[in-house]
Structure 1
Amino acid sequence: MGSNNTRGMSPRQKMINLMYIVLTAMLALNVSSDVLEGFVQVEEGLSRSNQNIAARNNAIYNRLEEFAIQNPSKGQIWFDKAKQVRQRTEKLHQLMDSLKTAIAIEADGPDADPRNLVNQDDLESASLVMLKPGKRRGGTHLRTSIDVYREFLATLFADSVHRANIRAALATEPVAKSGNAMPIPWEESLFEGKPVVAAVTMLTKLQSDVRYAEGETLAALLNNVDAGDVRVNELNAFVIPQSRNVMRGSRYSANIVLAAVDTTQRPVVYINGNRLQNDNGLYETVPGSTGTFDYKGYLEVPHGDGTVTRHDFQSSYTVIEPTASPGCLGALGLTADKLFLECCLVWFA
């Protein structure tokens, strides 16, 4: 298999690939039955590993299901995608199990058990099942099924790096081999002339790759549940008066609110079509005349999944002549030379 196929794999998977290659090379040298026993041990180890990976994947899947039940509007869309991943994974896993059984039956007869092969060194059965010309020969059907599965998973990743890792882990490109002028099909490189025990072990290894890809995808879907939320790392209290103009004997009203702020990623503020040139939402203007002035704008808030949401706002302010008494200006919360207005994104408790 090509070296590019190891990108994104865990160290354990890389070690398993290397062991398979070494054992196959030893078979080419007609080494004793100890080599066949080596494949049996690798098969057993892979089967145990697959069970552990499946348990981990089930835990992630169950968390997605629980969240969808608790918060359908937020979690159902991701759980629906997880169900598709689970269904496609199980279908592909079952296909590989059926191919193992077919190879074992070809080698040992109708009562064969892929986990307890008798004719482990049979060099023809795997080729007959996987490479025999026909409408649905096993190898071609397996390759096309993996291709469809791989590209489906890739569509569920927003991150190009993770997409590349999934494609590398489930790569089925033709393989260049010494002595061949042209690369040979993926399925031929894995099953042509291989003993039954090696072919069954390879199918178990492919099942491990599929479980790995399933787990990475489910984990990405779980992360997406909260990816669109605004992250906050600071809480501040603000007083927002309904009016700064208070006459004697009248009522003063103000909203006391809690503002959640992400100090590492400020929203971008636009007022009257112009972007504020600071990151703390401070809007300053010097009025040139008296009267009441309206203004409006919007904030653009970035989210963890790469999307940006827009939040519109509008307000107004009143300007009086600078000849007014300082006490009157103070009551209005204004200064004679400059007006300060601050725009805040606020979540009300």
Structure 2
Amino acid sequence: MIRIVVIIALTFSLSSCSNKSDSILAVFKATDEGLIQSNSVISNSNTIIYHALDEKILKPQSAHQASVWQPKAILIKEKSAAIIRYLDSLIVVLKKVANLRLENMREVYNEEDVDAASRLFINNNTGDKLFEQLLKYKKDILAVDPELNKVFGSNSIIISREFEQSGAKQKDFTKTFFDGVQAVAAVAMLRKLENNVRVLENKFVTFCFNKIGSTDGEGFYTRIEPILALSSSYVKAGDKIEMYAGIGSFSLATKPVVYIGGKVIKPNDNGVVVYKFRALGKVGKNNLPVKIEFTLPNGKREFLDMKAEYTVAE
């Protein structure tokens, strides 16, 4: 009777371990499938942003700002694509180490293999190399522009928040995530790292896109300048003076061309034309013709003809 109890208990114990192992395996497989879908969605979102950036650089009203931020986004795209290719190659190698093969026209591998990840990431020092590549990627994309580092420098997660905040070192990376884990768990971890990369890429290129702005919002008007003008700078005691004060938005994105007295005067870095001249001409009222050519939001070139009047005193 005792033997029967022991046998039953042992059989139940093995069955429980098997069920638990199967359950864990199913969780990792589901996680991997979910990450594949998530990565696909984020990738599609990034593609839409890149297309929108390409359109921005072709439109006259946004071309100036886009010429600054679109190349930065493309650089982020290239660096992200490189690290993702590396992660994908590791997934393929890991599956091969875990006996990747074709069964019924489907690729399968020994998902429960607990030695494959160790052989790849520990014995071949691949874990150390991966750790270095991840940190380099994060450093490189933060260095694309100082504003990116300012906004995202302290909250950009490339491995995991807990791991990075703990101050863990390179040797801890492989031991924590790849030492003695099932092959399917290691694959899921690599897929999660890819997910982290795609999330960072999405955040960064969205930031670049928003810096361009719309034609009637942030990014279209590139500089804000105070405007202060007096109706006259030469008066007698008791004369009335009119003052004009306010804030003006000046834009290089409209590609302004300013002609004063028939000469093209280039705007400064703030998009403002400053022109100094001597008051020549006969005593009394005089004027100086001013013509401004600029681009409307619809891309059409527009012209304004004005006259700057001034009076020469006796």
Matched, 1:208 2:195: yes
Asked if the contact 1:47/1:204 (under 8 Å) is kept, the reply is yes
Asked if the contact 1:174/1:185 (under 8 Å) is kept, the reply is no
Partner of 2:136: 148
Partner of 2:179: 192
Partner of 2:49: 60
Q: Please state how far the C-alpha of 1:65 moved relative to its aligned partner.
A: 1.2
Asked if the contact 1:175/1:184 (under 8 Å) is kept, the reply is no
Matched, 1:105 2:93: no
Counterpart Cα distance in 2 of 1:29 and 1:282: 85
Secondary structure of the equivalent of 1:165?
Answer: coil
Counterpart Cα distance in 1 of 2:167 and 2:147: 32
Partner of 1:293: none
- Measured against aligned partners, the alpha-carbon deviations of 1:110-166 in whole angstroms (never above 9, x if no partner) come to 669xx9543111111111111114xxx321221111111111222236163422222
Partner of 1:318: 234
Pick the aligned partner of 1:164 from 154, 168, 172.
154
Q: Please state how far the C-alpha of 1:88 moved relative to its aligned partner.
A: 1.2
Asked if the contact 1:175/1:189 (under 8 Å) is kept, the reply is no
Aligned AA (1:319): V
Asked if the contact 2:117/2:183 (under 8 Å) is kept, the reply is yes
Partner of 1:342: 244
Q: Please state how far the C-alpha of 1:174 moved relative to its aligned partner.
A: 8.9
Asked if the contact 1:126/1:199 (under 8 Å) is kept, the reply is yes
Structural RMSD (CA): 3.4
Q: Which runs of 5+ in 1 are unaligned?
A: 1-27, 233-261, 270-280, 284-314, 323-328
Counterpart Cα distance in 1 of 2:52 and 2:26: 40
Secondary structure of the equivalent of 2:77?
Answer: helix
Secondary structure of the equivalent of 1:318?
Answer: coil
Counterpart Cα distance in 2 of 1:219 and 1:344: 33
Partner of 2:298: none
Instruction: Name the CA shift for 1:121/1:222 in 2 (closer, same or farther; >3 Å).
Output: same
Counterpart Cα distance in 1 of 2:235 and 2:195: 72
Instruction: Name the CA shift for 1:68/1:176 in 2 (closer, same or farther; >3 Å).
Output: closer
Q: Which runs of 5+ in 2 are unaligned?
A: 1-16, 251-291, 293-303, 305-314
Aligned AA (1:190): F
Matched, 1:92 2:83: yes
Matched, 1:44 2:33: yes
Partner of 2:24: 35
* Identity fraction in percent: 23
Secondary structure of the equivalent of 1:185?
Answer: helix
Secondary structure of the equivalent of 1:32?
Answer: helix
Aligned AA (1:219): T
Aligned AA (1:149): Y
Q: Please state how far the C-alpha of 1:197 moved relative to its aligned partner.
A: 0.5
Asked if the contact 1:175/1:186 (under 8 Å) is kept, the reply is no
Aligned AA (2:115): E
Counterpart Cα distance in 2 of 1:139 and 1:91: 17
Instruction: Name the CA shift for 1:147/1:30 in 2 (closer, same or farther; >3 Å).
Output: farther
